[in-house]
């Protein structure tokens, strides 16, 4: 007759290689993606929060928050969401300047500034 398990259930729960990789599938959209969608909707004149009815989406896709990229089941839950701390933080992040390659180069220390020579040529005279 087989015995019990050698370890207690959940003994490896804090070891990183045994954790499930679920953070990637529930990850929200990045701020630059949302800024691109907002800019595109401004250029085309089509509002970013209007969707055709879709049974797959919560609330048929009719209640959508552009700033966070989430669908809601009804208008009340969307209104409650717009009062939340998460929504207000995301709106504040979206007002910041869009992240670009020049900012990344500057953060990495790869500046493009021209420095004066270390040993200037002496004047004869």
- Interval 96-124: pLDDT, tens: 887 778 888 888 887 777 778 888 776 66
Among the ranges given (9-13, 32-36, 68-72, 106-110), the one the predictor scored with the smallest mean pLDDT? 9-13
DSSP three-state, residue 21: coil
Per DSSP, the residues of 28-81 read PPPHHHHHHHHHHHHHH---TT-----TTSGGGG-EEETTTTEEESSHHHHHHH
pLDDT digits (tens, 9 = 90+) for 10-30: 777 777 776 666 666 677 888
Contact 66, 34 (CB under 8 A): yes
CATH number belonging to domain 49-97: 3.30.160.60
Answer whether residue 38 shows pLDDT above 80: yes
Give the C-alpha separation, 62 to 74, whole Å: 8
Please choose, from the candidates 80, 61, 84, the residue with its C-alpha nearest in 3D space to the C-alpha of residue 71: 61
Confidence band of 56 (pLDDT split at 50, 70, 90)? confident
For 115, half-sphere exposure in the C-beta direction (CA atoms, 13 angstrom radius) is: 4
Q: Which two tokens stand for residue 23?
A: 């953070």
What is the reported pTM? Answer: 0.59
């Amino acid at each position: 007759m087989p015995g019990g398990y050698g370890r207690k259930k959940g003994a490896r729960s804090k070891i990183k290689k045994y954790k499930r990789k679920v953070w990637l599938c529930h990850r929200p959209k990045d701020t630059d993606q949302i800024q691109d969608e907002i800019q595109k909707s401004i250029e085309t004149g089509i509002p970013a929060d209007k969707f055709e009815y879709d049974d797959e989406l919560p609330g048929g896709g009719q209640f959508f928050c552009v700033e966070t990229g989430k669908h809601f089941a009804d208008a009340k839950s969307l209104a409650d969401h717009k009062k939340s701390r998460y929504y207000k933080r995301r709106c504040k992040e979206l007002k910041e300047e869009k992240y670009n390659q020049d900012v990344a180069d500057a953060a990495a220390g790869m500046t493009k500034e021209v420095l004066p020579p270390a040993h200037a040529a002496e004047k004869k005279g």
